[in-house]
Each structure stands twice: as structure tokens, then as C-alpha cells.
Structure 1
Amino acid sequence: MKPTRSKSSGVWEFFQGLGKTFMLPVALLAFMGLMLGVGSAFSGSATIEAFPWLGNPVLQVFFRFIATIGGFAFSYLPVLFAMAIPLGLARHEKGVAAFSGFVGYIVMHLSINFYLTETGRLAPEEAMRQAGQGMVMGIQTFEMGVLGGIIAGIIVHFLHRRFHAVQLPDAFAFFSGARFVPIITALVMSVVGIAMPLIWPLFAWTIGGIGSLIQKAGAAGPFLFGAGERLLLPFGLHHILVALIRFTEAGGTAVVCGETVSGALNIFYKELSCPEVTHFSVQATQFLSQGKMPTFLFGLPAVALAIYHTAHPENRKKIRGLLISGVVASVVAGITEPIEFLFLFVAPVLYLIHAALTGLGFMTMGLLGVTIGNTDGNIIDFIVFGLLQGWKTKWYLVPIVGAVWFVVYYAIFRFAIVRFDLKTPGREKKGPSGEKEDSPETGKTIDYNARKVLEALGGADNILSLDNCITRLRLVVKDMKPIDEEALKANGAIGVVKLDETNLQVVVGPQVGLLKNRLEKLIEQQQRTSDHEA
């Protein structure tokens, strides 16, 4: 019998999956942003004045070239979302899902253009901005930004899920299955495009309302964003909040080089590529990388040091590698879960304090007028978007604030661990023999034994779906009872999050993709064996 799932469970699963799909275009955007940052930094007049040899014509052509390529993702971000969402959510025929996402996005805007033309509402070129219209891949339409791509991607996902295996009558059999998905997508999205002029004002009003609330919060706006993002992270829903601020009016709207741009990250990238901009906007960067830096570059390394110093002396050597890898992930890659999950379940109150300190980092950087953009908050962002952009970014304030955060984090965590005898790595209780028991986290190496992990998950038959994001496995299981958390941790898991009766997350770290691929192969092998025996 096929297990039943509650509607709330299905909704939770959908929003988790949706947040995960955002990471594909965002990852591309982060890398392209680095290219744009390097190109603009080394082609700027201030840099050439400081280092005249960079003014070499050949070098300048190269820097302008990589800056141009770096702007690609920013220019086409909505269509990237329209393709990435159905691609990421699809369990079958992923290529068809992405192709249909592109088809749906274009057809929607063509239909909007048709409506505006037929009703005489198509604005002249000089009045497009005032009318809320713009050009999307050569089509004059509503200026919907990334939200337009998200709407199209979600609709296409549901169409793909419903029709990717449809069987038509013999006369139309050629159009059955996967071929039918882009066809039904074109038909449905043409109707959506005609209806969009009627429903878009509601979306615009909602997003504008959220943006208004954040703006009215003043200095507290970045605090609420930074703390909220950390609080949503254990549930895997932080990507949705982040996308809202980075890519929609909720993150602000500005006119840059004569073009109206919405979303904190969009504004920053546009300013980065505009030669007329001499100083980046604090209103945009206050929601970006700079806010993470006090915590990512200084606070979490201090947590690792506090855990190391409070571990039993005989266990410190065992946990050293674990802590160093966590610090490297946070500082170099901007991936924080390997450290955060060392104390999230042991002391949730400490995680709340950590979320508040992260929010304070965002607020403090904004109040000080620091203007370091991009997405990750790691040392690469600090160098490329802070140091290389010159004194105007006030990058020199980051290590000063960071030193304060280091002391505060270290003092709070060391006090809490000792005072409340928290069982962080290296502080395990003595076993019956009087020797310390090694916790799963304290092993010298992490052995991603996929077979044992699969057994700890209840076997292949217990897994309804398997996916991953940057650091964690995301699963839907039939039953939570067979899940063996200790066995999962013994084989590389940092933490286990049970969201409801069927949705499960296993936090692994940056190598999660490797484990997921091994699990998929094992599941396929077991299914083939089972089918053969049947």
C-alpha cells in the first residue's frame, strides 16, 4: 500500500524543494559575481592610478571581457529561475522540465505583450519605466524581475508533474509523455500571460508591502533579515527569504545608470558594472555579504576554538580535524552548517544567541556604512568585493568589528559549555569501562559508508524521494521509526533534522553530493535485484 502523507507534509516538502532549487542559479550568480567584481576592480581608474602597469591595453581588454561575462547571470536571472525550479523539483525527465520552463517563461511574456498591445497599454520607450514595463529577451512586457521567473517555474513544475507520463489516444501518441509537457506548458502559460495584468498588481503590492516593512524598520531591517535567515536555516527554508530580499522589491529599488533595478543583490551588481557609480549603496549592501562576515570569518571560528578548549585534553587531537574543516568551510566557502550543527541540537539556546549575533552583524555593518556586496560572506568576498574595490567599501572595518565578534562568541560559548556541561564534541561521558566514548563527530576521518547510511535510513524501501542541497540530504521517507540517528552520525552525518512525519534532512557537509550519488546507485541496485527476484 502506498503510504499517505498529510497535506501539510506535502506543502512543507514543496517549499523545502523550492528553496533548494534557488541554489542552482544563485551558485552561478555568485561565481559570475566574482568575475564581475575582479573585472570591475582591475579596470577601475583608482586601481590603475595605484598600479599603473594594470593600464596595459591588453590587460584592460581582458578585465573588461571577464566583467562582461560576469554580468551574464544578472541579465538573465529570471529565465534561469524559470528553468532551475522545474529542473530541481522534477524527479523524472529533468531535461524536459528545464526546457519547458524556458518555453513557459517566454510564452508568458509574449502573451503579456499581446495583451498590452491589443489594449493600447504598451508604453513608449521613454515611458516604460513609469508604466512598470521593460524589455525581457526582446519582448516589451511587465517588469516582473525574478518573481516572474519563479511564478513561471512553479507553474511549469506542476504541469510537468501532472503530464510527463500522460498517454494520449493512438492518433496523437507521438505527442504523449515528455513531449506533451512543453506543449501543455505553452497553452497554459499563454492563458497565464493574458491573466497576469489582472493578478500582477496583487503580487507587486505584497512584495512592496514586505519591502516597506523592512524599510520602515530602519537599522533593525538588516538585523531581522540576518537573524531570520539563521533561524530558517535548520529547516532548509532560508533560501526563500534570501531570494526575496536579493531579487525583489523587498530588498529595495534604485535607479542605476538610468535603469530601475529591484533587489539588493541586483542593485549591487548593476552598480558594480556601471562606470558612473563611484560608491556602492549601503541600502543594498546592508543585506549582503558584509553582514555575514563578523560571524562567518570571526564568530564561528571562535566557536570552534571554544569547543576545542573545553574538550577533554585526551580528546582534543580527535576533534581537531573536524573543527579545522568546519572553520575552513565557513571562512573559505561561506558554508556554516559543519560548525553550527555541532551545537544546534546540544544547546538550541546557543543557536538563538548565534542567530541574534548574526543579525547584529548585519545591522552593525550597515550602520558603519560598509559596502561589501555579493552572497557568501567568505574571505573571497572580502578580498574581491571589499579590498579590491578600494577604500570606499570601508573594508578595514570588517576585521575591527570581527575582533569584537570573536571575543563575544568565544566568551559566550566557552562559558555556556563549561557552566552547563554541554556535550559538544570532545566532552562525551565516560563509558562503563571508564574510558571516554567517541562521539560520531569526533572520529579522525569521516567514512561516507553509503550502505550503512542506507540501512540507517530504513533501507531503500523506506525512501520515497532523495535529493540534496549544498550541505544536506533532503529525504521523504515512509516511516521515521527505522531512522537510526546514531548510525547516521557514525557514518559522517553532522546532524539529523526531522521536520515532520515524513520529511527528513541529514546534514553532511560540502561532500553531500558524493554521498547522495552513492545512495542513488545502491537504491537502483536494490530495486533491480528486487525486480529480478519478483
Structure 2
Amino acid sequence: AIFTGVVLSFIWPPIGSAIQTFSQWAAYQNPVVAFGIYGFIERCLVPFGLHHIWNVPFQMQIGEYTNAAGQVFHGDIPRYMAGDPTAGKLSGGFLFKMYGLPAAAIAIWHSAKPENRAKVGGIMISAALTSFLTGITEPIEFSFMFVAPILYIIHAILAGLAFPICILLGMRDGTSFSHGLIDFIVLSGNSSKLWLFPIVGIGYAIVYYTIFRVLIKALDLKTPGREDATEDAKATGTSEMAPALVAAFGGKENITNLDACITRLRVSVADVSKVDQAGLKKLGAAGVVVAGSGVQAIFGTKSDNLKTEMDEYIRNH
């Protein structure tokens, strides 16, 4: 510990200085470029679950604001809450989470084969409402990022552009973490040009819908409802899914740690080769990400319930 402390006393000062320099540049000198880069990279990291790490400096470190009582606030979110008129540069997230991605979900629904359209419509409308209300986008994004990566690249670019657009138009609103309707309304106390969000947002929705609809058809992308015919998985409730999920992760002996976040099952396994990724997708996973011995299966907001059911099943069998 002493050795580590001595080493860090030499290493940390230049790192801290670099963070401070970047903070000033991003918050005050060139926020249009900085937040455009932020938005693009943040979406690029979503497939790996690393976007939360990238978010921290922008949300909680960049910029500085001192209120009338002498309290100092750092980060775009705390500064906005404290009344800093130069904060609120994360507002671009509202454009693609409340408008763009829901429109993409509708395009995916409309592009499904006629025989699959009703089933896909139910899934996509639910995902679109989740994104619009709460800002949770992964159920939509994981429906196309692996089967149609070109769409995800375009989405990441459009997400990055949303932040400069809001900054240049003077649009500001607050967010806790998600950029959904709940944040949009509850945290609007220090907002600017709130009326512009639905106007620009509808324009963003049109762009997303048009691009997705045209490319899905032109490139014959296998988005939900357009796949080659396969045997459908049996519909099951969360409690009935637990045994199948445990089996898909290679059995309880293969599971070394089981956890969940708001949209993903996060499972550490002894042998990744025993994980049945196709089986997980048949059970309803929008996507599966493998990193080392960790496997993430995206089941949306029911992930925590599935984790609880799996825990109970493993304990009792």
C-alpha cells in the first residue's frame, strides 16, 4: 500500500492535470466537437457494456460552477441541477432516445414479413415506449446491432450529431442518466428552448425511420421478422424460463457468478464454449455479448426478475 501510494503520488498529478485540461476544453472551449465525439463513442461502447465508464467524466467531472453559497459543482449533470446556465450539454440524448430510436423500432416493425408483423409489432412498440418514457434503448439497439451493423454505425453517427445540434440551437434540459420523457419533464426547471425538442425530435424521427426503412429493404437486412424460417421457441414465463436459461449458460456448474443490471443478465462462466448463444436468443435475448469469461444476455427490463428466478432455481436444484 505504501509503495502504491508513492507511485501514485508521481503518476496521478499529470493525470489529474490532463483531466482538468480536458474538462475545460469540453465544457467551455469547444463543446460542440467534444460532445459530438462523446455521443458517437458512447453509443459505440454500448455493445460491450462500457458506456457507463465513458459517461462518468462528462456527467460528473467536466466544468466547474460555484453557486451563491460558495458550493462548487463539477460535471454537466450536477452543474445543471445547481443552475449553471452553461450546463445542459447532454441534452442531445433526448433527440435519439425519445424520437430517433422509437422511429427506428417502428421501421423495423413495418419492414417485417407480413406473417411476422403482428408479433414483431408487439415487441417493437413495447421497446419504443420504453425508450421514449425512460430512455432505456438497449432492447431496440440489440435487435439490430448484430444482424445489421451498418444500421448501428449510422445510429451511432446520428446519436453523436444530436449533441452538437442541441448545443448550437441553445436547447437545454436536465437528465439523471436516461433521457426519457420522465427526465424531460421532471428535470426541466433550468431548461432552455424546451419547445424546440419535439420539433427537432420529430425531424430526427423522420430521418431515422427513412434510413432504417430504406436500408432494411435495399440491403435485405435480417432485422426481427425478416429472418429465415426457424423453429419458434416456446413462450414461457420468467419462472419457467429459469431452467432453460441455466441450461443455456452451460448448467449450474458452469455458472460462477450471476448478476443483472436494468437490461442485462451478467453471468460469469467457467467455460464460455458451453454457453448456447443461439438458445439464449430463442429464449428472448435481444443480443448476447461475450467478454472473457463474462456473458451478457440482453433481456430488457425483465432481466432482474430472470436473475432472481435463476438464483432460486440454482439453490433448489
Do both share a fold (TM > 0.5)?
yes
- Mapping of residues 139-178 of structure 1, within 5 Å: none
- In structure 2, how many angstroms separate the alpha carbons of the residues matched to 1:200 and 1:311? 53
- In structure 1, how many angstroms separate the alpha carbons of the residues matched to 2:314 and 2:137? 30
- In structure 2, how many angstroms separate the alpha carbons of the residues matched to 1:267 and 1:196? 29
Q: Does 1:352 align with 2:161?
A: no
Q: Does 1:332 align with 2:144?
A: no
Please, which moves more after superposition, 306-315 or 450-459? 306-315
- Mapping of residues 3-402 of structure 1, within 5 Å: 201-215=13-27, 216-248=29-61, 251-257=62-68, 258-271=70-83, 280-281=84-85, 283-287=86-90, 290-375=91-176, 376-386=178-188, 389=189, 393-402=192-201
Instruction: After TM superposition, give the deviation of residue 465 of structure 1 in Å.
Output: 1.6
- In structure 2, how many angstroms separate the alpha carbons of the residues matched to 1:465 and 1:213? 41
Which residue pairs with 1:469 in the alignment? 261
2:259 aligns to what SS in structure 1? strand
Change (3 A) 1:318 1:438: farther
- In structure 2, how many angstroms separate the alpha carbons of the residues matched to 1:524 and 1:380? 38
1:302 aligns to what SS in structure 2? helix
- In structure 2, how many angstroms separate the alpha carbons of the residues matched to 1:232 and 1:446? 31
- In structure 2, how many angstroms separate the alpha carbons of the residues matched to 1:400 and 1:446? 41
Instruction: After TM superposition, give the deviation of residue 270 of structure 1 in Å.
Output: 1.7
Task: Report the structure, 1 or 2, having the larger helix content.
Answer: 1
Give the AA of the match of 1:311: A
Change (3 A) 1:456 1:367: same
Change (3 A) 1:218 1:246: closer
Instruction: After TM superposition, give the deviation of residue 474 of structure 1 in Å.
Output: 1.4
Change (3 A) 1:446 1:399: farther
- In structure 2, how many angstroms separate the alpha carbons of the residues matched to 1:487 and 1:218? 44
1:76-130 superposed Cα distances (whole Å, 9 cap, x missing partner): xxxxxxxxxxxxxxxxxxxxxxxxxxxxxxxxxxxxxxxxxxxxxxxxxxxxxxx
- In structure 2, how many angstroms separate the alpha carbons of the residues matched to 1:232 and 1:209? 24
1:317-338 superposed Cα distances (whole Å, 9 cap, x missing partner): 1112111110121011111011
Contact 2:59 2:77 in 1 (8 A): yes
- In structure 2, how many angstroms separate the alpha carbons of the residues matched to 1:350 and 1:447? 31
- In structure 2, how many angstroms separate the alpha carbons of the residues matched to 1:328 and 1:379? 10
1:304 aligns to what SS in structure 2? helix
- In structure 2, how many angstroms separate the alpha carbons of the residues matched to 1:464 and 1:213? 44
Aligned residues: 311
2:142 aligns to what SS in structure 1? helix
- In structure 2, how many angstroms separate the alpha carbons of the residues matched to 1:330 and 1:416? 22
Contact 2:25 2:31 in 1 (8 A): no
Instruction: After TM superposition, give the deviation of residue 235 of structure 1 in Å.
Output: 0.7
Contact 1:450 1:515 in 2 (8 A): yes
Q: Which has the larger radius of gyration?
A: 1
Which residue pairs with 1:421 in the alignment? 220
Structure 1: gaps spanning 5 or more residues = 1-187, 272-279, 431-436, 527-534
- Residue of structure 2 aligned with 1:453, choices 245, 264, 284: 245
1:215-256 superposed Cα distances (whole Å, 9 cap, x missing partner): 5444111111111111111111111111121112xx211222
Contact 2:175 2:184 in 1 (8 A): no
Instruction: After TM superposition, give the deviation of residue 206 of structure 1 in Å.
Output: 3.1
Instruction: After TM superposition, give the deviation of residue 267 of structure 1 in Å.
Output: 0.8
Between 1 and 2, higher relative CO (CA 8 Å, sep ≥ 6) is seen in: 2
1:29-79 superposed Cα distances (whole Å, 9 cap, x missing partner): xxxxxxxxxxxxxxxxxxxxxxxxxxxxxxxxxxxxxxxxxxxxxxxxxxx
**TM-score normalised over the length of structure 1:** 0.55
Instruction: After TM superposition, give the deviation of residue 439 of structure 1 in Å.
Output: 5.8
Aligned-residue sequence identity (percent) comes to 38
2:281 aligns to what SS in structure 1? helix
- In structure 2, how many angstroms separate the alpha carbons of the residues matched to 1:266 and 1:311? 43
Contact 2:288 2:297 in 1 (8 A): yes
Give the AA of the match of 2:56: A
- In structure 1, how many angstroms separate the alpha carbons of the residues matched to 2:32 and 2:236? 42
Which residue pairs with 2:281 in the alignment? 489
Give the AA of the match of 1:384: V
Contact 1:447 1:492 in 2 (8 A): no
Name the Cα RMSD after superposition: 2.4
1:3-38 superposed Cα distances (whole Å, 9 cap, x missing partner): xxxxxxxxxxxxxxxxxxxxxxxxxxxxxxxxxxxx
- In structure 1, how many angstroms separate the alpha carbons of the residues matched to 2:149 and 2:237? 27
Segments ≥4 residues shifted beyond 4 Å: 194-200
Give the AA of the match of 2:289: V
1:496 aligns to what SS in structure 2? strand
**TM-score normalised over the length of structure 2:** 0.90
1:120-156 superposed Cα distances (whole Å, 9 cap, x missing partner): xxxxxxxxxxxxxxxxxxxxxxxxxxxxxxxxxxxxx
Change (3 A) 1:483 1:199: closer
Contact 1:247 1:263 in 2 (8 A): yes
Structure 2: gaps spanning 5 or more residues = none
Which residue pairs with 2:299 in the alignment? 508
